[in-house]
Amino acid sequence: MIRGIIFSFICFAVFSCSKGSNQLNNDFSGTYKGTVIDSINGQYHSTLNNHSITLTRNSGSNNYTITNGLILTNTATILGASFTISRVTASQSASFNVVEYANGSFSGVGNSILNVTFYQNQVSPTTNAVLATSVRKCVFTKQ
């Protein structure tokens, strides 16, 4: 009898912990539509309304492919409710390199709202000085 109770307790503890810690349970795949506010070198540039991006989860991982994104980089990582594109050199030329990254988070019912900021910097290939910066602040809602 005591063995049965202990076994039941251990099973309960193992399955309870496993469920909460599995980051792959959430799938954020889908189309998100919303507003993008662009600034260049800290100055407002424009607003893009009704822009859509699509996130498609890569099988068995927390990596997502971005379709119709706002920067050259098209892969993001989603852990928990955090959206991240790690800093990457997306393009290179003799004049400048393009360095991109993004960070954001999901919120709302069913994590249906994505607040994300995309960064795109032009960087000198010789001095690593930032020559220009583009920032795109976005609020998207899952469709």
- In the prediction, which pLDDT does 60 show? 87
Q: Are 62 and 86 in contact (CB under 8 A)?
A: no
Q: What is the model's pLDDT at position 26? A: 85
The backbone region for 46, taken as left when phi is positive above 0, alpha when psi lies in -120 to 50, beta otherwise, is beta
Domains of the chain: 24-142 (2.40.160)
Task: Report which DSSP code applies to 96.
Answer: -
Q: Does the pLDDT of residue 106 top 70, yes or no?
A: yes
For tokens 């800290």, name the residue: 42
Res. 5 pLDDT band, cuts 50 70 90: very low
Radius of gyration of the chain (CA): 20
